[in-house]
Amino acid sequence: MNIYFNNGIGFGDLWSALHFLLRKSEASGEPSHISRYVNEHDVGNTLESMLTLIDAPSSAKVIISDEHANISTNGDSWGVAYYPTKVQWSPPPLPGIAYQFDGKSSAHIKNPTQSEVDLLTRWAANRAIPLIKVGLPLTMAHSAMILAKYSSCFIGCCSGMSTLALATRVPTYVLEYELKVAWWYGPNPVNICPGMQSFIEKYEASYG
């Protein structure tokens, strides 16, 4: 698989490619190189921010270059287990639910309707469960901290924050209206929910 994705680039694509290259570097003992420019777009700051969050061993190195790197990966970057983030998950003082309902993805994800958002809001208010938004305009580091320290789980669509939630090892519920399958990998199983009512039922079954 070539790291220069031809059909658009997203958070999950970059995150998976970095993990793949870190694993490859650890196994080979050699640093991996990745271009700052992907599909002619400068994603250097995003890549560097991601690297500061990944708790990779010191033997694994990814070097971000200002020049185009001619690298192909001999395998599927989605198939490699994610290293955990440097911010490790622990039970939160409040049973907050982290969410993102305005996700963007090259896979053209469908975000929940307003009626589904209202359903979750009413249910959470009745249960006195805080809802905590992650994603933009927060930084990745801030979102990772919220996920890891203040959230009992994450609910959202297949986008960057669901990928980050997996890496913080917080239980991850993904609203998937079309594929109905988990097509990526990580240290957590992904709980697929075809709608908000499904998430509520799964949450109550897990947390009471």
> Of 71-85, 132-146, 172-186, which gets the smallest average pLDDT?
172-186
1 exposed, middle or buried (CB, 10 Å; 0-12, 13-18, 19+)? middle
CATH number for the domain that contains residue 162: 3.40.50.2000
> What is the C-alpha separation between 40 and 43, in angstroms, rounded?
9
Number of domains in the chain: 2
Strands (E), 39-85: 41-42, 62-65
Query: What residues form DSSP beta bridges with 172?
Result: 154, 190
Cis-peptide, bond into residue 137, ω within 30° of zero: yes
Task: Report the 10 Å Cβ neighbour count for 55.
Answer: 12
> Of 12-16, 146-150, 194-198, which gets the smallest average pLDDT?
12-16
> What is the C-alpha separation between 39 and 74, in angstroms, rounded?
20
CA distance to 25, 83, 169, per residue, from 188 (Å): 23, 11, 6
**Residues 119, 158 within the same domain:** yes
**Residue 16 in tokens:** 């998976």
Residue 135, in any domain of the structure: yes
Distance of CA 75 to the CA centre of its chain: 20
Task: Report the 10 Å Cβ neighbour count for 5.
Answer: 16
User: What's the domain range around 159?
Assistant: 97-207
The pLDDT tens digits for 64-97 are 887 765 555 556 676 777 888 888 777 666 679 9
In this predicted structure, the answer to whether residue 39 has a pLDDT above a threshold of 70 is no
In this predicted structure, the answer to whether residue 107 has a pLDDT above a threshold of 70 is no
**Residues 187, 130 within the same domain:** yes
Taking the complete model, does pTM exceed 0.95, yes or no?
no
> What is the C-alpha separation between 108 and 102, in angstroms, rounded?
12
- Of the two residues 52 and 66, the one the predictor is more confident about is 52
- Report CA dihedral (168, 174, 180, 181) to the nearest 10 degrees: 0
Residue 3, in any domain of the structure: no
**Residues 51, 130 within the same domain:** no
